[in-house]
Homo-oligomer: A and B are copies of this chain.
Amino acid sequence: MSETAAPPASKSEQAYAAVKARIVDGTYSPGYRLVLAKIAEDLGVSVVPVREAIRRLEAEGLVQFERNVGATVSGIDPTEYLYTMQTLSIVEGAATALSAPLIGAADIARARAVNEEMRECLQHFDPVRFTRLNQDFHSVLFEHCPNPHILDLVHRGWNRLASLRSSTFRFVPGRAHDSVDEHEALLRLIETGAAAEEIEKAARLHRSATLDAYLAQAPKSNAGSLSAQ
């Protein structure tokens, strides 16, 4: 029997996936009011599974919930962006460092190809594609991470970031250019079997630099930078 007979996802699961997808892809942008009855109708289910789904998303930080009021997509605040990026820089750095020893030549080649594509995107100015490729690139670096908890945190961070991007995040061409170079440097470090500590530091700085680039154009910081040199 093939995998065709997949378990017909419960309505609760459906609702969870659907709402999450809409938050991540920007259909529901930060501040959007999630009305149970409305979503339930859209999805053709009752409110109970929808409510359950939303509470789960709350636990992941994608939505904010207020008693007797309802849920809204979280992350209007620019500070949120800062916190998310900072957290991501930490878990991503760790994930990369843990994966590094398990990354083979084939993976490196794949990542490098993606990175070269990213370089091309810079010339044609294709931020959307660039962003997607960036995710692919890092996915290659993470996929061997032996600790699923850390991997999960990275994914949550990415989702969060995706949900914020439409209103907060801006593509900064100059920064993007540096980013591609940093990717290459990161690959070299991994190739040459650098110490985990060094790889972690590089990966973290890579992410922090993006945060700094953001802060430079929207200065409003009040949290310490982890990229303390």
Chain B positions within 8 Å of A153 at CB level: 87, 153
Complex Cα–Cα for A67 and B91 (A): 30
Chain B positions within 8 Å of A147 at CB level: 83, 86-87, 223
Instruction: Judge if A60 is at the interface, Cβ distance under 8 Å.
Output: yes
Instruction: Judge if A10 is at the interface, Cβ distance under 8 Å.
Output: yes
Contact B150 A87 (CB under 8 A): yes
Chain B positions within 8 Å of A48 at CB level: 48
Instruction: Judge if A226 is at the interface, Cβ distance under 8 Å.
Output: yes
Chain B positions within 8 Å of A94 at CB level: 90, 226
- Contact indicator per residue, chain A 132-155, by CB within 8 Å of chain B (1) or not (0): 000000000000001111100100
Chain B positions within 8 Å of A58 at CB level: 56
In-complex Cβ contact of A224 among B149, B196, B224 (8 A): B196
Contact A195 B51 (CB under 8 A): no
Chain B positions within 8 Å of A222 at CB level: 146
Complex Cα–Cα for A98 and B52 (A): 34
In-complex Cβ contact of A90 among B61, B91, B148 (8 A): B91
Residues on A close to B: CB < 8 A?
7, 10, 12-13, 48, 51-52, 55-56, 58-61, 67, 83-84, 86-87, 90-91, 94, 97-98, 101, 146-150, 153, 195-197, 222-224, 226, 228
